[in-house]
């Protein structure tokens, strides 16, 4: 689970605990690399597929979102996890090895050079995508599913694909559209609010129980509705309600995820509001990590769940996001 890494990376971008000089040092250190993703032939439309986490206890049926892609000279549909918590697209080394072994016609197109794929090409719907110097993580099982229809995940699609563009996630219909403009029919019925995109991270301005908040939207980790600090969790959790504690793993570190019912409501703009249902916080972070969470000004991290019954519009180009019902 990459949740902790994403939280800490983002907090460092916001926080200057060591003064102005320290802030700009950490900002440079953790800033994402130059965007090398190019797309032609937009808009791109395709199916959304839920990724289940069967390792978690209890199992999480909607742990993340997958989008199908097609590779040149490969007859099999592969998948990337749609990860708006990651500022750049990555590939998984073991999956690439398995893919090259099964489909020799791929040749050297997915060959690593100093931990990157120099030119990663794929089709996303009807669009053609090229990512230069795509980073490769030592990740994946290295085994292809025997069922050709089972999703074979070779990496994740980050927010480099969203820069200057519009992503529509129709959760109810399980469809996505990546384009350059908000469809007119959707713009007419959606409720919009401000969106910021610092360091290619999606910050949504929302109201939590009527109070303005700034929340990071991370489609890659959906085991929670709202992940926040323990202090906020204690304020939002329903009084006397029993909390559930789940064990998770973040980059080899054991963490506890505490989830409790909440009556809090999340507002998007002047007309749209949803009940959160649950709120969570993470235990197991060290003192520095806790300090970063407490003083950063980041109010929490949203998963997919608040939007799962409708449509979410991420208009990065226009600096806004919108929600609409089906």
Q: Express each pLDDT in 202-255 by its tens digit.
A: 999 999 988 999 999 999 876 678 988 888 899 999 988 889 888 766 545 677
- Our CA angle for 292, 293, 297, nearest 5°, is 95
Task: Say if 98 falls within a structural domain.
Answer: yes
Q: Is 292 a domain residue?
A: no
Whether 127 maps to a domain, the answer reads yes
Over residues 9-36, mean pLDDT: 58
Contact 299, 187 (CB under 8 A): no
Residue 17 binned pLDDT confidence (cut-offs 50, 70, 90):
very low
Q: Is residue 106 part of a domain?
A: yes
Domain of residue 59, residue span: 38-166
Domain count, the chain: 1
Query: 49: domain CATH number?
Result: 2.40.70
Q: Tell me the pTM.
A: 0.87
Taking 70 as the threshold, does the pLDDT of residue 276 lie above it?
A: yes
User: Looking at the domain assignment, is residue 24 inside a domain?
Assistant: no
pLDDT digits 0-9 by tens, 109-158: 898 998 999 999 999 999 999 999 999 998 888 888 888 888 999 999 99
Of 5 and 323, more confident: 323
Q: Max Cα separation, the chain?
A: 61
Whether 126 is in a domain gets the answer: yes
Residue 103 in any domain: the answer is yes
- Whether residue 65 is contained in a domain is answered as yes
Question: 5 is written with which tokens?
Answer: 């890494």
- Cα 108 to Cα 37, 77, 105, distances in angstroms: 20, 19, 9
Question: 159 versus 241: which is more confidently predicted?
Answer: 159
Give me the phi and psi of 80, to 5 degrees please: -115, 140
């Amino acid at each position: 689970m990459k949740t902790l890494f994403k939280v800490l990376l983002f907090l460092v971008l916001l926080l200057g605990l060591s003064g102005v000089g320290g802030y700009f040092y950490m900002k440079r250190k953790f800033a994402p690399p130059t965007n090398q993703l190019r797309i032609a032939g937009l808009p791109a439309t395709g199916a959304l597929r839920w990724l289940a986490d069967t390792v978690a206890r209890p199992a999480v049926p909607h742990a993340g979102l997958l989008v199908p892609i097609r590779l040149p000279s490969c007859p099999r549909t592969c998948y990337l996890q749609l990860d708006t918590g990651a500022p750049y697209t990555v590939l998984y080394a073991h999956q690439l090895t398995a893919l090259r072994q099964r489909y020799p016609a791929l040749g050297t197109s997915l060959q690593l050079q100093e931990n990157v794929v120099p030119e990663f090409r794929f089709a996303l719907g009807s669009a053609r995508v090229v990512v230069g110097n795509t980073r490769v993580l030592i990740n994946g099982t290295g085994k292809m599913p025997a069922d050709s229809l089972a999703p074979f995940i070779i990496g994740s699609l980050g927010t480099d694909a969203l820069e200057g563009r519009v992503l529509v996630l129709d959760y109810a219909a399980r469809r996505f559209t990546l384009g350059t403009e908000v469809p007119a029919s959707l713009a007419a019925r959606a409720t919009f609010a401000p969106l910021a995109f610092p360091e290619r991270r999606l910050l949504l301005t929302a109201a939590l129980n009527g109070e303005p908040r700034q929340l990071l939207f991370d489609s890659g980790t959906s085991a929670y509705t709202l992940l926040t600090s323990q202090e906020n969790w204690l304020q939002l959790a329903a009084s006397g309600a029993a909390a559930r504690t789940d064990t998770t793993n973040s980059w080899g570190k054991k963490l506890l995820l505490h989830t409790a019912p909440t009556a809090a409501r999340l507002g998007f703009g002047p007309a749209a509001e949803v009940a959160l249902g649950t709120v969570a916080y993470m235990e197991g972070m060290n003192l520095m990590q806790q300090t970063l969470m407490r003083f950063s000004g980041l109010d929490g991290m949203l998963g997919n769940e608040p939007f799962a019954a409708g449509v979410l519009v991420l208009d990065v180009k226009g600096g806004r996001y919108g929600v609409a019902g089906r």
